[in-house]
Amino acid sequence: MSIKSIPYKETGYFSKLICDYLAEEKSLIPFYNRFPNLENFKLQIEEKQNSFNIRQRRLLSKQIMLQYGYNSISQATLTNLDLLKENTTFTVTTGHQLNLFTGPLYFLYKIFSTINLCEKLKEHYPNFNFVPVYWMATEDHDFEEINYFNTYKNNNTSRLEKHKWDRNSSGAVGELSTEGLNEVFEKLKTQFGNSENAKELLKYFSDAYLKNDNLADATRHLANTLFFESGLVIVDGNDEVLKKHFIPYAEKEITENLSFKKVSETTKKLKDLGHPEQVHPREINLFYLNKNVRERIVESEGDFYVNNTEISFSKEEILAEINDKPQCFSPNALLRPLYQEAVLPNLCYIGGGGELAYWFQLKDYFNEVKVPFPILLLRNSALIVPKKLLEELETYDVSIKDLFLPQQELISKHVYKISDIEIDFSEQRAFLKQQFKDLYVLAEKTDKSFLGAVAAQEKKQLNGLDKLESRLLKAQKRKLSEKLNPVKNIQGTLFPNGSLQERNLNFSNFYLDNGEEILDIIKENLDPLNLSFTIIEV
């Protein structure tokens, strides 16, 4: 199996902010704590060890164990839960929404990045223990973002089929009942077929979604099954006991608007450097959470209101509510990282480019509330390429790297390569420019008006060559269309909807072809500290 990698900057799919971070641009140093390399984890361990006590650890271990309920727990996970009680144990965390049947491929990449980093850290720091954590985003309320997944349509790799869970929803998605998912299951039975791999996939789905009452429990069951032997620990932040640790920070939201002030200052600094705002801070970055309700808390003339409801509090009443019912307060995207870091003995957060962008907005706020800021690591990104397609690319003399180009650029580049006539007019341009150099010499001996006329004529002639080359290129594209269509089809297969495979396609298509081995293949080929885009051949 050949493995290749491409610098993120050269893929064209990652923001300048992320590319600058990976290049360790000095301008970004104030927005993170330590860069993700093995040596920097030593200082991170020391900092976190001094801020997290044994009592917190014991409560955390016990509460996570209770969250698992009747789920089977592997010996590796049981061991990790026990190790969390010790002062020499730390977590590496990733978070993700409760996407139906894991959603897009990068769900797997996030978690394998987390597992693999823990293994690397254990090798490098054998006197410490490192526990991979998946933080379930059970409190999110954007159902439309998570209620579907895509597969190839009836084995037609040029089209995607959307498997969607249709139902009304409100409140935190983790509390949604799994009603209606039997209909999705019946459609999957038709599409997946009757192979042994198909039967395993269908069992994953039915055991998770048809035997659990809510989406949080279903997602925990599925993730626990897929990563059973890895020692993965799954955490649900929507938990009364865990949220008690968040009370002091929730109080500051009400009394000081602290996150709004500090995050706004940091965001301005990032924008001054040319980086766009990822998440807009609000004056109060908390939601009120109750059955079928997750709505923003807003202040008006000293009183506090829950948006789109009749619920309201005086300042004294809402502070009392925070202390009496911390489970009713839910952090938004900007406060969730602080909640996570207050609850876990965490060293590193692994996330996608968009996630890291809003973490950069938080550094000054973390400093203000005296919570250690974790190391930020971009999750692995990968493209899974069947061996057959790689062989076809070699036949057409197209590189994997070329496929990252927009399709028109890819096709133009390929036409230049395979055309039996010369399309590139660079030689003619050079000749023309030389002729005009002689005219400029002549023009210098006359007046400025003649000099301007020469310049205008040069521009006109060069533009004419550009247009001729463009028309010739279009003509060759039409003439060579039969030779170009296979290249288009390969790109369409590997980059569905003109975007990265990992953002569009579910893992199930690769599982149907490779079985459980596909999980091992992905894990083996993702190196979390190799800060480049990975190509995996299967």
φ, ψ for residue 505 (rounded to 5)?
Answer: -105, 140
| Rounded Cα–Cα distance for residues 433 and 431 (Å) | 5
> Could you tell me if 95 and 78 lie in one domain?
yes
What pLDDT, on a 0 to 100 scale, did the predictor assign at position 424? 83
Residue 127 lies in a domain: yes
Q: How many CB atoms lie within 10 A of CB 103?
A: 23
> Could you tell me if 198 and 238 lie in one domain?
no
> Could you tell me if 229 and 348 lie in one domain?
yes
Residue 94 lies in a domain: yes
| Rounded Cα–Cα distance for residues 291 and 327 (Å) | 11
For the chain, which residues score pLDDT lower than 50? 1
Match 């009603």 to its residue by tokens. 179
Q: How does pLDDT run across 111-143, given as a tens digit for each residue?
A: 999 999 999 999 999 999 999 999 999 999 999
Close Cβ partners of 300 (under 8 Å, ≥ 6 residues apart): none
Close Cβ partners of 504 (under 8 Å, ≥ 6 residues apart): 104, 150, 160, 496, 497
> Could you tell me if 25 and 38 lie in one domain?
yes
Q: Helix, strand or coil for residue 73?
A: coil
Q: Give the domain-ending residue among 216, 235, 253.
A: 216
Residue 192 lies in a domain: yes
Number of domains in the chain: 3
Close Cβ partners of 401 (under 8 Å, ≥ 6 residues apart): 6, 10
Nearest Cα neighbor of 86 from 130, 119, 47, 125 is 130
Stated as kind and residue range, the H or E segment containing 149 is: strand 148-153
Residue 283 lies in a domain: no
Amino acid in position 70: Y
Q: At what angle do helices 247-256 and 315-324 cross, to 10 degrees?
A: 170
The number of helix segments (H) and strand segments (E) in the chain equals 23, 15
Residue 174 lies in a domain: yes
> Could you tell me if 210 and 222 lie in one domain?
no
Q: Is 401 exposed, middle or buried (0-12, 13-18, 19+ CB in 10 A)?
A: middle
What pLDDT, on a 0 to 100 scale, did the predictor assign at position 36? 98
> Could you tell me if 361 and 339 lie in one domain?
yes
> Could you tell me if 432 and 466 lie in one domain?
yes
> Could you tell me if 443 and 467 lie in one domain?
yes
Q: How does pLDDT run across 228-245, given as a tens digit for each residue?
A: 999 999 999 999 999 999
Residue 391 lies in a domain: no
The DSSP string of 436-463 is HHHHHHHHHTS-HHHHHHHHHHHHHHHH
What pLDDT, on a 0 to 100 scale, did the predictor assign at position 1? 40
Match 């042994």 to its residue by tokens. 196
Residue 347 lies in a domain: yes
> Could you tell me if 230 and 101 lie in one domain?
yes
DSSP symbol at 209: I
Amino acid in position 11: T
What pLDDT, on a 0 to 100 scale, did the predictor assign at position 2? 53
> Could you tell me if 92 and 25 lie in one domain?
yes
Per the structure, the complete domain to which residue 443 belongs is given by 398-499
> Could you tell me if 116 and 229 lie in one domain?
yes
What pLDDT, on a 0 to 100 scale, did the predictor assign at position 159? 85
> Could you tell me if 111 and 188 lie in one domain?
no
Residue 157 lies in a domain: yes
